[in-house]
Every structure is written in C-alpha cells, then in structure tokens.
Structure 1
C-alpha cells in the first residue's frame, strides 16, 4: 500500500513540475534565442529573422529606402557602424551594424539598429536646444554640413544660423567602436544676452521582440548617481505615469535590448536631467538635458554629450567604463551575481579565443569546474560512506524511539556527533553547481559573444535550443514539433546520462526518494529541452565527468560501491 502511495505521489509531483514549469520558467528563465536553424525533411536550413510589428497602421509605415532619399544626408563609415546623418532635424536615424547578421545565413542582412521616422521600427537619436529669448532649431530645420563623411578620422560639423544673431553648431565625431560624440556650440553675436540649454534624445517606436523578464531587463535603463536603474520598463510607462524623471551627476540614459544598446552619455562629472517619456501609440523617448547657460553678446558656449549605438560587447563596454562611463557594463543585466558571472564569462571567452570553438570551450570549462570541485566531491563521498556505515545504528534508534520523536532527534544528533557524520555534506556539490549553472545560463542568454556561435554538426547556434528533434524522426518528417514536445538529441543525451549517473548512486533508504530519482532524468529531459544548446552541452559533460568521478571514488569507498551494486 505504501509503495503504491509513493508511486502516486511521485507521479503527481512529476506532473506538477512538468506542467507548472513553463509558467515558472517564462518569468524566471526566459526561453533561449529563437532557433538559428530548423531541420525538416532531413535538411538543415536557416530560420528567417522574425519581423516586429508596430502600433502604427500600415498606411503610416513607408519603405525605408524611399524615406532615406527624402532628406539630405551625410554618410557614416566606421569598422562597426554604417549609415547616415539626417541633415533635416540633425538626427542620427540610419545605423547598421555590419559585423552582425540577422541570422546565420551567409546572405542574411546586417543588423539594423536605427531607422528613420515613418519607417517600420523607427529608432533614432537627435540633438537640440531649449532657449530663452531666441529662436532654436527644430525637427524640420535643415542643417549645413561641413565634411563629406563621418569616419573615425574625419568629423562632421553641422551649422545653422537662426538669422537673429545666434549660430548653432553640432560637431560630430566617432571612434572605432560605437561611440559618437556631439559637441553642441552656440555663438551669440546678437545685441542681448540669451539663455541656452542643450538637450539630446533617443526615440523609438515599438517594443522589442525580446521580453523584459525577472532575469533579463529589456527596455528603458540608465545609471543615475552611481547606481544602475532597471526599474522602468515599457509597461510602467504605458500604465502611468507616462514620464519618469531623474537628476544625476554623471551616468547615462537610454534603451537596452538583449544584445544592443542606445544610450546618451553626458560627461563623467556633468549634472544632467534625464527622463523617459511615453508618446502616442508605442512611441517612447529618453531625454538628457544639460545645464543652461546665459550667453552675453560676443560669447559662445560648448557642451558635449556622447551617443552609444551598437552591440553590448563585454570588453567594449568595460573599456568605456575604464574611460569614465560609470557602470557601463551594467547595460548587460548580469543581476545580483555579476561578481561571479563575469569571471565565468571571462574564462569561457578566453577558452574560446584559445580553442576557436565555443562548444569545446564549454566542455573545457566543465573540466575546470569539476577539477575545482573535486575535493568537495571527495568529502561528499566520504560523508556518504560514513552515513552508510551508521545505517544499522540509525535503524535501531528509529525502532527504539519510534513513539518519541523529540528523543529520536536528540539521539540521532548525538549519533552524528559521535560518528563525526554530517548528513548535509552530500548536498554541498549540488548547491555549488546552482550558481555555476545560473552564471552559464546568464552568459549564454545575455552576451552577444555567444550569439550564433556553432559547435559541431547540426548545432549551429549554442545560444539557441537544439533543432534536431526526436518527434519528427530527427528532421526526416517535414514538421516542427510544438515546444512541449521539442525533445532534441541533446535533451535525450541529458536524460540518458542523468539516468546512468543516478544508477551509480547508492540506493535511497526512502522508497519515495527512489521513485523520484527514477523519474527525475526523464522529467529533466523535458524541462531542459527548450534551454540553450550550450547549457545542455555543459550538463551532459558534467554528468559524464560525475560518473567517472563516482567510479574512481567508489574504489576508495568500497562500502558505497557495495551498496550501489546490491540495490
């Protein structure tokens, strides 16, 4: 009767985890990147990059190529940025990242980050002034450019004279990476003093495809007064208040996507007023306003702000942080354990640069982790051996004090102390593995260095799920299974390796635990299937190393080996 009860409880627990896990994981562990490939009919083909719909109606969305031709422009050409500056409104609204592709297809277009107003996924930055007693430029102002192209060696200066004695200039320069500097200058040749306050803004239409979750922030973000702020998201602005304001000394403000960042960066010691605003439909804006200046006749004032528009490369962000941009690497939402995740990433990336394959780097990282944990595993097995040795005495105590639970607990603690046994020692390696696994999960999900990285054979993207599914006969049948049945080869190998690993463990005294451990490998196979392939490579390698380590340690602790063989 008790065995049947245990089986029923184990089945109910398994069902609760399997059916409840999708809801839990959606909030705490968002899905991996969309598959880079699909395998149907026995062939591997790239998956097209999905489009993003905006709230604007079809009539208001126009072809980008046409819009780009409607205003005078100055080209942008750097190793990592291409595009153009719109002389109407002094906007940077055409940015493409030539070193990144939408998909793994060799003919895939480069990632487009900025697009002009009126086009799909409009996203751009601009510069301007607020003034007292003077005429300032606006979004329709057509500027005059000095310079044929913006490159790392050739800046471009935009000028506009308001006809009332004030000359406005924006001197744009760009480095080898993703940072554009804008020096905003006003010269007053009028008869009276004028007040000017420079500002800059980033405007975007539509919400990114990547969701904003508990573990990965996507949306408005900034660093204010030395602290990273992830509290504002699109939903906050939609539901109100529609404006969120900040006063800060140094820092930055902008929008972060999973892999991309657009941010306004005032000087390291500059006081600025930042705010996020909600416009009509799905329009959002981040503003940064610098301090105001009163210009006497014959005087000029220049204030500089920088615009970062590009990929969230770890080393690039860290380089800008060393250059004075406070907490710039927090544009990557490392979370509470960044102090642990960043070393994991640094080691993994160094292994990749050394070995040339991220899959092999993950396997080598697993070897390193297991080597570090080997002494802990030795203590675990020694503790398990000691626990096995005192089982007869424990059973005698349980029988003797079966009607006196408090006395039983006292006698058990005394037995552990006398025999120098720690019943919790066997759990330590599991608890140590949790932060390592979570750190690798964050690295695979967040760092662009992992994006579209292949391993071997059919695994073309380690940051995406395994595309080879057993329910369509490994791609021979022309359909893609639904997500809850998308069991790939890696998930199957995970289940098998975990099954044999559990078989090597000593038999559990509790029948309920035996039932749970017998079901656990196959339950984990379903749970882990949607995760990034790189995580499964890590776990499978870890299971195989654990089995090898168990075999070796069983030779040192024969009592455990005997228990395992007779279970």
Structure 2
C-alpha cells in the first residue's frame, strides 16, 4: 500500500514540476531561438525565417524597389553593406554580410536597416530643429561629394537653405559596424539663429525576439554609467507620445537578441523614446539648443552602431571609449562568470573549428576540474562502508537520545575524515556552468546557426530530429516540450543511468522522484538549444564513466550504495 502511495505521490509531484516549469520557463527562461531546420525523410532542410514585423499593408513596396527610387551613396566594408539615402539623409539600407537569414548556404545576408515604405522599415536619421529657421527635413535632397563611403574614404552631405545657412553631415565608417557622424551648420546669413541638432533611430514594429527578465529585447539605453533594461515596448506605448529622460551621457537605441542599433552622441544629450498608434517606435538623442552667430559654425559629433552584437567588436568599441556598449548583450547577474565561459568556448571553437566539438571539450574541462570532488565523494562512500559497524553500534547505543546520537555520528565522521554531504557538491558546482552556457547559447550571435554534425546544423536551436512525428514522416510538427528530439532522449537515458549509479536515497518518495525525474527532464529540455542538450548529455556520459571507474578504484559495489530491500 505504501509503495502505491509513494508512486502516486511521485507522479503527482513530477507532473507539477513539468507543468509548473512550462509557466516559469516561459517568463524567466526563454528557450532556444525558433527552430531553423527540420528533418524530412532523413534529410535536414532549412525553415523559412520568422516574420520580423507585423503584416505589411498593401501600400508597402518591396525593399529593393524603395531603395532604387531615391538617390544614394553606397557603402561597404568587411562586415556590412548598404547605402545612405540622400533624400532625408538617412542610413536606411544595411545588411550584415557575416550573418545569413537562414542556415541555408544560399540564404542572403541579414538586413538590419530598411527604408521607410518597405516592410520592417528601420533607419537612422539626422536633423536640426529651430524656431523661424528653414531646416532640412525628410524630403530634403542632399548633395554628396562622393558616390561611395568606405573605411578611410569619408563622404560629406550638404544642403543650403534660402537664408544662407549651410548644413553639412560628414560621414565615416570603420571596418565593422560603426559610423562616425559630424553634423555642422555654418551661418552665412546676417542674423544669429538658434538651432538644436539631433539624431534618431526609427523602426516600424517590435522585434520578433521575445523579451524576458533574463534576456532583454527592445528599447535600451545607457545613462551615466549604467545600463537600463527596464524600458520595454509596453512602457514606451503606455507613455503616450514620448517617454522622456533627463539629460545624460551615454547611448540609446533598440536591441534584438543578436542585433543592435544605437545612437552614441558625443557628450550629454536629452533622450526619449516615442511611439504612437499609427507610427513607428523611435529613439531620439538631442543636444542643447545653441545660438550660431553670423559667420560661425556649430558642430555636433556622434556615432552610430548598427550591426551584430559580436562580443569582440563590442569590447573593442568599449576600449575605444564607447561606454558599456557590451551591455547591449544582457549577460545577467552572472556576467563575471559568463564572460570567461564564453571566452573559453570561443577559444576552443577557434582551435577545433566546430562549436559542437568545443562544447564537448568544455564539458571535459568542467568534469576534469570537478573530478577531485567526485573522488572525495567516493572516498567518503568507501569510508562510510568501512565504519558501518561503528555507526550501527552508536545507533544502537544512543537510539533513545537523538541529540547525543547526532553528536556522536558527527564526531565519528570527523574522526574518520568523512563528509556524508560530499555527493551534493558536483551537482551544485555544475549549476553556474550550466546556466552560463545556457545564457551564452541564448544571447551570443557567435553561436547563431553554428553546426555540429549529422542532423544538428544549428546548435542555438532545438534538436530538429523530432521522434513524435517519426522524423518528418508524419504530417505534423510537435511544439514545445512535445518536440522531443534524439538529444533530449539521450539526455533522459543517460541521466536515468547516472541516477541509478548514485547512492540510493533513504526516503521512498525521493527514490520514486529520482526514477521519474530523468524522463520529466527529457520533456523539459526538448525546447532548449541543441548545444545545451549536447553539453548535458556528454556530461552525463562522462559522469557514468567516472562513477564506474571510481567504483572499481575504491572496491565499491552497486550493492554497497543500493541495499536490497528485505
């Protein structure tokens, strides 16, 4: 009767874990990026990318058609390619050459900026405001002193108003993702004018990436030495026409999981985010209004980052003076630990040439570092077996005095140098490594679309070899924790074997829970990145081999830690 009760209780608790985890994970632990591949008839096929914006009205034109409709200055370096729109002086055409839309080798580069009038419009613009002054606007046609912008080859855009004010935008680009901008106005009129230079970043809709308490996506800013992850799409909408901030030094923009567009003024500016029901989201950075006397020139310098959040590039820009740009990657509370894990994993990738092999090497390193702890655990187990007669004598002697019994047992453990809790340490120490790898796989663009072997062509997405639809033979696609791939199954099986080799728990309910938990975790881990599943599976296999060897080393037997019930 007790066995049936324990089994029912274990099943109920396991179901609570499975269902409860679904609610917790959705908010706190978003799973991998959307599936980028599927297996059909034994072949891996790339999936179409998810939509990056709401459905486009019929009035919108194709991106290429909008780009071709206005005069432009081309730019290209080793990382980005695109053009600057001379109508309105906007950077509104930018694709990232190192990153493809899908895992297909035929896929084109990821577009980050697109012109107004096209689907998923997103662009950066520059301007001035002033009372009683004719300033350039969105329909102004600028003149360029060159047809191509490239590293070491800047371009100047100019426009003169009827009163004689000459407006100029000097643009330069480096070999990665950074534009340097100098906005100038020269007053050739007979009267002083008051002008306020500004720059803005606009995007038509929200990101398709999901924002959560552990991975921030959406409006982002750095102000006076601190990254602000509290601003969300919802807060901007609820603020009405504008969500204003006091004057500060830093940067402002929009971040996706892997991409960033940031306005970086030189000096303090007033920032705000804007949104209206019929309009796009917009980030603004405006300098103080200044009076330009006749014959004088006013200059406002800034930088614009628009590209992939590659850690090496962001760190380089930080070292060059852009404050906390690497904070656009939401590392979280364990940043101090995650950065070394990422650096090690990236170094292993450069050595091996394969991120899957790098993850396996990382697992070997972690298990190697934890081996002394596991060795101590089995030494304690051997010691526990050795002192069983003494332990039973103490238990018999002080069976009616529980306080004295505990004291004598602790004295015995201390005398024999045995730590009964040593078995918990390997699991506890793996938690920060596991979480760090989870975050690295979640937020690092370096992991995006990285293949491993066989059917695993994207380690940052779930295992596509879904068993429930017989690897694509059945015409349906399981979702969430039902999309059980080969790696989650291997994870469950190896964890079951590992738990069987662990010392048996005394509590019958805990025994039942540990018997069921591997299969629960198989479902829980199904939606997570294949790289994380690979790490856990390999770690389980290494633990099984390690336990087998340690059993032999200390002349322990399965029956020593798993007594037969009588």
- SS across alignment from 1:424: helix
Matched, 1:434 2:447: no
Q: Report deviation, 1:417.
A: 4.7
Q: Which runs of 5+ in 1 are unaligned?
A: none
1:501 aligns with 2:498: yes
2:255 aligned residue:
256
Change (3 A) 1:397 1:146: same
Structure-2 separation of matches of 1:197 and 1:189: 17
Cα distance change of structure 1 residues 306 and 478 upon mapping to structure 2, 3 Å threshold = same
1:326 and 2:323 aligned: yes
Please report the TM-score for the alignment, with normalisation by the length of structure 2.
Answer: 0.94
3-state SS of paired residue (1:425): helix
Partner of 1:284 in structure 2?
281
Kindly provide the CA deviation profile for residues 181-206 of structure 1, in whole angstroms up to 9, marking residues without a partner as x: 11001101111222222110001111
Q: Which residue of 1 aligns with 2:298?
A: 301
1:284 positional shift: 0.8
Q: Could you tell which deviates more after superposition, 548-557 or 96-105?
A: 548-557
Corresponding position: 1:360 with 2:357? yes
Render the CA deviation track for 1:64-87: whole Å, top value 9, x for unaligned: 233223322222222222121111
| Residues 209-218 or 24-33, more deviating | 24-33
- CA distance 1:7–1:290, shift in 2 (3 Å): same
Give deviations 1:113-143, integer Å, cap 9, x for gaps.
Answer: 1111122111111001122452221112111
Query: Is this contact kept in 2: 1:127–1:201, CA < 8 A?
Result: yes
Q: Secondary structure at the match of 1:183?
A: strand
SS at structure 2 position matched to 1:92: strand
Comparing 227-236 with 127-136, which one deviates more in the overlay?
127-136
Q: State the match for 1:541 in structure 2.
A: 538
CA contact (8 A) 1:41 1:477 kept: no
Deviation at 1:42, TM superposition (A): 2.9
User: How far does the alpha carbon of each residue in 1:385-438 deviate from its partner, in whole angstroms, 9 at most, with x for none?
Assistant: 445555676677778877876666666555555554434332111111011001
State the Cα distance separating 1:107 from its structure 2 match. 1.9
Partner of 2:238: 239
Asked if residue 42 in structure 1 is aligned to residue 36 in structure 2, the reply is no
Instruction: Quickly say closer, same or farther: Cα 1:21–1:398, change in 2 above 3 A.
Output: farther
1:479-558 superposed matches below 5 A: 479-558=476-555
- Give the secondary-structure state (helix, strand or coil) at the position aligned to 2:468: helix
Deviates more, 1:309-318 or 1:514-523: 514-523
Per the alignment, residue 29 of structure 1 pairs with 29
Tell me the residue number matched to 2:340: 343
Cα distance, 1:182–1:189 mapped onto 2, change above 3 Å: same
Which stretch of structure 1 is more off in the superposition, 231-240 or 502-511?
502-511
1:502 is displaced (CA, Å) by 1.6
- 1:49 counterpart SS class: coil
Matched with 1:470 is: 467
CA distance in 1, matches of 2:200, 2:293: 27
Matched, 1:143 2:159: no
Distance 1:508 1:197 in 2: 71
Task: Assess if the C-alpha contact under 8 Å between 1:180 and 1:308 holds in 2.
Answer: yes
Aligned to 2:10: 10
The answer (yes or no) to whether the contact 1:67–1:116 under 8 Å persists in 2 is yes
- Whether the 8 Å CA contact 1:224–1:247 is kept in 2: the answer is no
Deviation at 1:334, TM superposition (A): 0.5
Could you tell me how far 1:465 is from its partner in structure 2?
0.6
Residues 476, 276 of structure 1: alpha-carbon distance in 2 compared, 3 angstrom cutoff: same
- Counterparts of residues 171-210 of structure 1 (less than 5 Å): 171-210=170-209
Number of equivalent positions: 564
Mean Cα deviation higher: 14-23 or 470-479: 470-479
Corresponding residue SS for 2:149: coil
> Given the superposition, is the C-alpha separation of residues 543 and 189 from structure 1 closer, same or farther in structure 2, using an over 3 Å criterion?
same
What is the CA distance between 1:248 and its match in structure 2?
Answer: 5.3
Change (3 A) 1:420 1:41: same
Q: Which residue of 2 aligns with 1:95?
A: 94
Match of 1:446 in 2: 443
In structure 2, what is the Cα distance between the partners aligned to 1:101 and 1:135? 43
User: 1:426–1:243: structure 2 CA closer, same or farther, 3 Å change rule?
Assistant: farther
TM-fit CA distance, 1:279: 2.5
Contact 1:35-1:467 at 8 Å conserved across structures: yes
1:92-125 CA-partner distances (Å, limit 9, x unpaired): 1111112211101122122111111122111111
Equivalent position of 1:378 in the other structure: 375
How far did 1:160 drift?
0.8
Equivalent pair of 2:224/2:249 in contact (CA under 8 Å): yes
Is 2:422 the partner of 1:425? Answer: yes
TM-score, structure 1 normalization: 0.94
CA contact (8 A) 1:31 1:530 kept: yes
Unaligned 5+ segments in structure 2 are none
Deviation at 1:224, TM superposition (A): 0.6
Q: Is 2:87–2:141's contact at 8 Å kept on the other side of the alignment?
A: yes
